[in-house]
Chains A and B, each alone.
Chain A
Amino acid sequence: MTKKSDERGIHDLYSEDPLGADTKLWGRRSDPITRRGFLHGAGLSAMGAVLGMSIPFSRNMPAGLIPAALADTSEVFRIPGKHDGLVVLNDRPINAETPAYLLNDNITPNDRLFVRNNGFPPSEVDASTWTLDIGGESVRTEKRFTLDELKSRFPKQTLQLQLECGGNGRSEYRPRARGNQWSTGAVGCPEWTGIRLRDVLEECGIRDDAVYIGYYGADSHASGDPTKQAISRGVPIAKALEDETLLAFAINGGEIPALHGAPLRLVCAGWPGSTSGKWITRIDLRDRVHDGTKMTGKAYRVPCAPVAPGEAVDDSEMCIIESMPVKSLITSIRSGTVHPVAEAISVGGHAWAGDLAVRQVELSTDFGQTWSICELAEPPNRLAWQRFEGKLTFPVTGYYEIWARATDQEGRAQPMLVPGWNPKGYLNNACHRVAVRVV
């Protein structure tokens, strides 16, 4: 089976098929005769929104042209509702990460939460008519709930839960793995409000043979094919029934932004972000490992046994990623900072460890030869990231890298090198590095 990835860069798309790129990116259709303008205005507002300005001479704009403002910024452009510093990795579907220094808040604000889409978000979302179906082989009674029923019938939960893309850190793998070249910023820890998935599933009845859940969302496949799911993943039943696994309808005390899965999404913290499905319309209780889109093949899987960099791995040798590995980010200092040698530097950030807690965070200024232990806060609740703070001094002026290394409660620490290569470039938890020039 040959599967063409739909995740592409803007130049890539335009160089291949300019008219097609217009349609895919913006939904733009131009006049078929003149090849100019925007037929019935299709795509004009989308392009204008990303450009941050209207396009006065849109009538004359040739089809298949990358707006110069985007072409010149080498794929980095602003998404409405997102912080200016968010780096746009991919335009179609929109994927964007947050530079580490913008993630200093203990609770990640909406505009600093990374965006990862596998397909196109639903264009029309009406919370008043939204429904959730519970079904599958292992459900006792199939049921349909309106959003209001979910909100009123089940106890509300508010938890701070971290989400991280399974491919966060992919950009460091060599040979390169295909996909969005996330550096460090596909992670965040907002406060979610919702209900326990367990409560809803138990209301319908869980048969003894249930092993997995599989979700379905209202997003559409990037090819536009309505028969295809953009993504349909899930988690083993044990993870689905945890206290912290939520069906969320609010974030940071307000509505979930459209890009983040309004009006209803899953939050399976500590596991690859793709298990936290967005725009959820259906959840199946499965009597087998869920086999939806991006559950099979190499998607969100790593080799069951370690392989050499670049080695070919058969799909049958790939295992589903479950809990994410221990990791940390220095967020109080912007990499590239200049700092006076006479002053100590305060270094703060966050550490997290998938399903586990973080036991210790250390910092090094000498490329990992010596480490000093930081103060580390308890998480506000299970599966939230933990704040660390340390103070460092520099012996002489020069170029330094501050490295952070976290250790989870079972003693596993972040490696200093990029960990085991895998075909899709998942799970890079190499210690975070921040460069400082000391003068």
Chain B
Amino acid sequence: MKTTWFVVGVFLLACAGPVKDLKSESPRTLPVANQPGSNFDASNFAPGAGRELVVANCTACHSDKLVTQNRSDRQGWRELIRWMQKKQGLWPLAPQTEDVIVGYLATHYGRPQVADDTRRPALPDQLMPPTSSSLPTPVLKEKNP
């Protein structure tokens, strides 16, 4: 579920149209680490500790909306930062800075409880079959009770 959510987030990020085409912009001047700043609207960010760091480090490349329309937990936001650093030219962040940013994002844009976010929950674990990787190679058949 976590992975799925993350993929959705990344997909939205990659698809965010009017902001700036992050993927295809070929010869692109990467922002430099010592020049964070706000190039895009940041008015949607919720007030709270860490907001300034988020504005400074995130809105140089994309609008606040790309952030605020997504939800994830600390790990998910951290993975997204890694991905942006690897693929999208986000500068390195000092560990303390990253912690504040991740904390702000997880607090204000945290993952809703998955169970409270659906019109039909997935089947519960006890009703699920074994995963394919956990099955022995020869075909196994279970007799019905």
Contact = CB atoms under 8 A, between A and B. Distances in A.
Interface of B: 115-121, 123-124, 126-130, 132, 135, 139-142, 144-145
B134 to A, nearest CB: 10
Contacts of B140: 338, 439
Nearest to B117: A174
Interface stretch (A25-33, A115-123, A256-264, A429-437): A429-437
A287 interface: no
Nearest to B141: A340
Contacts of B127: 335-336, 434-435
A435 to B, nearest CB: 5
A106 interface: no
Given A338-B135, A338-B140, A435-B123, A175 B129 contact: no
Interface string A328-364: 0000111111111001000000000000000000000
B129 A338 contact: yes
Given A174-B115, A338-B142, A339-B141, 6 more contacts: A336-B126, A336-B127, A336-B129, A338-B141, A418-B119, A430-B120
A181 to B, nearest CB: 11
A439 B135 contact: yes
**Chain A facing B: main interface SS:** loop
23 contacts: A101-B145, A104-B145, A174-B117, A174-B118, A333-B144, A334-B145, A335-B123, A337-B142, A338-B130, A338-B135, A338-B141, A339-B141, A340-B139, A398-B132, A399-B129, A401-B123, A418-B119, A430-B120, A433-B123, A435-B127, A435-B129, A436-B129, A439-B139
In the A-B complex, the 10 residue pairs with the closest CB atoms: A437-B129, A335-B127, A336-B129, A417-B119, A340-B139, A417-B120, A338-B142, A418-B120, A435-B123, A337-B142
A416 B123 CA distance: 13
Contacts of A416: 120
A97 interface: no
Contact of B128 (A172, A176, A336): A336
A334 B128 CA distance: 10
Contacts of B145: 101-102, 104, 334
Interface residues of A, number: 32
A401 B144 CA distance: 16
A227 to B, nearest CB: 39
Contact of B144 (A183, A332, A397, A437): A332
Contacts of B142: 334, 337-339
Nearest to A439: B139
Interface string A413-434: 0001110000000000010011
A437 B120 contact: no
B129, B139, B140 pick with most chain A CB within 10 angstroms: B129
A174 B119 CA distance: 7
Contacts of B144: 101, 332-334, 337
Interface string A199-213: 000000000000000
Nearest to A415: B120
